[in-house]
Structure 1
Amino acid sequence: MASTLETQETGGPTAVRRSRVLKSVLAWVVVLTLAYFIWPTSLGGGTTAIVVNGHSMEPTYYTGDVVVARADEPEIGDVVIYTTEDLGDAKIIHRIIGGDGVNGWEIQGDNNDFVDPFHPTNEDVLGVAKFHIDSVGTWATVLRSPSVWASFLLLALGLVMWPSRRCPDLESAEHPTDAEDRA
């Protein structure tokens, strides 16, 4: 009887289980929130990241900088990431200097003395630049590799599937000793 009271007063196995469930729920909330904000536009999300390659956006962005853009209504003065059918899958990051989203934007690199020959509409704009990270483009290029992501997924699967040790408090509560049975 004394051990039952001690277990109830100190929290015991039920408190341990509740704590684990709470931690799991909080972890999933964090993961889903991050997924919402970093889910790429190529998979139906609202985020586009690009590694700057070239000098056309200097001094705003340099080669190797990673720029993250979110789907938003572009305006004149915004730096946008856009695509054009003329260049296939290429993504261009330049500043809007005129035009409109229906008839086409006039776009120019900050370091260019000419306006881009393309006039993307709002449908072609993948996102408006929100922030950038200096000089991590090499790492970003590595992370874009499918084999790296496959390795991460296999590692995560292995960690989830790996058997864990049982909590000693739970074992003693589930298997009372002979002395406790007689009491």
Structure 2
Amino acid sequence: MLDRQEPAAPDAPLARRALRALPSVLFYVAAAVVAWFIWPTSLGGCTTLTLVSGHSMEPTYVTGDIVVARCGEPQVGDVIVYAPDEVEGNARIIHRIVGESEGGWVMQGDNNEFLDPFEPSGDEVLGVARVHIPKVGLVVRTFSNAWVWIAIIALALALLVWPSRDDDEDESDDESDERESDEREPDERESDDRESADVGSRDDQVGLPLAAEPEPELEPTA
């Protein structure tokens, strides 16, 4: 009858490290997804964060609102963010498309009674408005800076590479266990040798012949 070999138990320290590392892995995956979604066009991404300033888009958007625009094909009626070539300083305008002409899109603010003097097309259109976040403009403006993103990425890489205290403790525990095991092995061997010597001595004593005791002499009786 064949003996069934049970699968070896997983290495406890390795499993413990994997469980401890799981939250960090999930955090970095979530951070990567968020970074992909809000990666700015200034760094080659597809997202434009616009801080609303002025009254031209009221009541749809008011000063201090944040509008998240994503690249895509705009349609009449969409609100888009565009940067006209005629304006220096990379100025951005967020208005609604109200028509189309041979030169590009016809634009107008929701609170304006006149059309924009610009008709953006092609690369001038940075994105179509997708998400409206009221009154959080200053915070997002900070994260729109390319240098801030570089600093965040550098910090994330540093945290990923830098060993955690738990890992150091696990390695220290493993080394301590190995040292204790190495110290126990010579003592166990010496104990086994002593037991073997004792057993051999007892066996030798058992094998020795017993000396014959002299028989008492009988005196003759009358």
- Taking structure 2 as the reference length, the TM-score comes to 0.66
Corresponding residue pairs, total: 175
- Go from structure 1 to structure 2 and tell me whether the alpha carbon gap of 1:173 and 1:158 turns closer, same or farther (over 3 Å shift): closer
What is the one-letter code of the residue matched to 1:108? Q
1:24-35 to 2 correspondence within 5 Å? 24-35=24-35
By relative contact order (CA 8 Å, sep 6+), the higher-ranking structure is: 1
Q: CA deviation at 1:149?
A: 5.8
2:84/2:124 contact within 8 Å kept: yes
- Taking structure 1 as the reference length, the TM-score comes to 0.78
Structure 1 stretches of at least 4 aligned residues deviating more than 6 Å after TM superposition: none
Separation in 2 of the partners of 1:122 and 1:114?
23
Separation in 2 of the partners of 1:159 and 1:36?
19
Q: CA deviation at 1:139?
A: 2.5
Unaligned runs of 5+ in 1: 1-7
1:40-51 to 2 correspondence within 5 Å? 40-51=40-51
Separation in 2 of the partners of 1:117 and 1:126?
18
Structure whose residues are more often strand by fraction: 1
Q: 159-168 vs 106-115, which deviates more?
A: 159-168
3-state SS of the aligned residue for 1:175? helix
Q: Percent identity?
A: 48
- Go from structure 1 to structure 2 and tell me whether the alpha carbon gap of 1:131 and 1:56 turns closer, same or farther (over 3 Å shift): same
Matching residue of 2:174: 173
Q: CA deviation at 1:26?
A: 2.8
Q: CA deviation at 1:22?
A: 3.9
What is the one-letter code of the residue matched to 1:107? M
Unaligned runs of 5+ in 2: 1-8, 190-222
Give the aligned CA root-mean-square deviation in angstroms.
3.1
Per-residue Cα deviation, 1:118-176 (whole angstroms, up to 9, x for no partner): 00113211000001111112333444567766765676566556663245455333432
Matching residue of 1:139: 139
Separation in 2 of the partners of 1:42 and 1:158?
24
Q: Return the index of the structure with the highest Cα Rg.
A: 2
